[in-house]
Amino acid sequence: MNRNKIINEFKDAIRSENLKVTAQRLHILQNLMDNPNHRECEEIFQDLLQKGTIVSRATIYRTLDLAVKHGFARKMDIGEGKARYENRINETHHDHMVCTQCGKITEFVNNDIERIQREICSAKNYQLIKHSHQLFVICNECQSN
């Protein structure tokens, strides 16, 4: 299925850089693919640990960088002073809404916003490289508490 295909693509990406396919790298990628959340390094570390796989945090960071570089993961920053990572299975571009009470992250996309961003840049002769857009909210559940 799809997951194994992705793992193989990751192996190819590793080899394409003349790097080595290691058990640690595969564990990390698999763990990332099996989890839809937006997790920080520590959460991935603990999740692997609980499943009996010990991989150092340094290796997790290094492997996530590699995954990001090759399009398998996305690194995001919601202003917490630390990075979160999500897999890119079924990738469609999206931004995030973050509940300031419970931390829940919801994705959103809006084509008008995407277009306007491009217009703002071209009006100034700036070349748009990427953007970072988060809405900080109180989610429906937290409002009723």
Partner DNA sequence: AATTACTTGAGAATCATTCTCAAAATAATT
Partner DNA sequence: AATTATTTTGAGAATGATTCTCAAGTAATT
- Nearer to a copy of itself by Cβ, of 41 and 78: the residue is 78
Residue type, 127: Q
Q: Which stretch binds a copy of itself (CB under 8 A): 13-21, 26-34, 49-57, 126-134?
A: 126-134
- Nearer to DNA by Cβ, of 58 and 129: the residue is 58
**Nearest residue to 80 via CA among 141, 38, 114, 34:** 38
The Cα 133–Cα 137 span in angstroms is 13
**Binding-site string for a copy of itself from residue 72 to residue 101, where x marks contact by CB under 8 A and - marks none:** -----xxx-x---------------x-xx-
State the DSSP code for 39: B
Give the number of residues in contact with a copy of itself, rule: CB under 8 A. Answer: 34
**C-beta atoms surrounding 16 within 10 Å:** 9
What phi and psi, each to the nearest 5 degrees, are found at residue 89?
-65, 140
**Nearest residue to 105 via CA among 72, 134, 71, 73:** 134
State the minimum distance, in angstroms, from the CB of residue 47 to DNA. 15
137: partner contacted, choices DNA, a copy of itself, none (Cβ within 5-8 A by kind): a copy of itself
Interaction of residue 130 with a copy of itself, rule CB under 8 A? yes
Asked if 88 and 71 count as a contact pair (C-beta separation under 8 A), the reply is yes
55: partner contacted, choices a copy of itself, DNA, none (Cβ within 5-8 A by kind): DNA
3-state class (DSSP) for residue 95: strand
Which residues lie near a copy of itself (CB under 8 A)? 77-79, 81, 97, 99-100, 106, 108, 110, 112-113, 116-117, 120-121, 124-140, 143
